[in-house]
Amino acid sequence: MGEDEAQQISRFKNLTPEEHYLIRQAKIEKPNYTEGTMLSDRFGCGLIRYIPPSLVLALAQTDADEKNARKRLMDEHRISELEAAFRIADQISASRRAWQNRFNNAAPAAA
């Protein structure tokens, strides 16, 4: 989110400086995760990160470039849209594993 979203929310709710800051910090990193800001009287405010399963992400792809990539897979491999979504989900999972391994291998060994 950005300053525009924070301003829109502030029209309906008085935001503390901390809440305003957290709203501006939330981001989306496709296809890995989406962040949001929780604003709650009971629990306070906080930044949350939603990391949906790979298949859910693959099935929910609606941007033009995502649809085009799925269509290319379908045409190239003569497969259904669902089979293409499974392949995309596998690619997302592989990308996540590679990202995770990069950080696991960089961590210092325990003594």
pLDDT in tens, 20-73: 888 888 888 877 788 989 888 888 889 899 889 999 999 988 889 999 999 999
For residue 12, what are the CA distances in angstroms to 7, 22, 37, 68? 9, 17, 15, 38
Average pLDDT over residues 8-23: 87
Q: What is the pLDDT of residues 77-95, one digit of tens each?
A: 999 999 999 999 999 999 8
Give the residue extent of every domain in the chain: 3-50, 54-106
Say how far apart CA 51 and CA 31 lie, in whole Å.
9
Enter the pTM of the model: 0.65
Using pLDDT thresholds of 50, 70 and 90, give the confidence band for residue 99.
confident
**What's the gap between Cα 35 and its chain centre?**
7
The burial class, CB within 10 Å (0-12 / 13-18 / 19+), for 66 is: middle
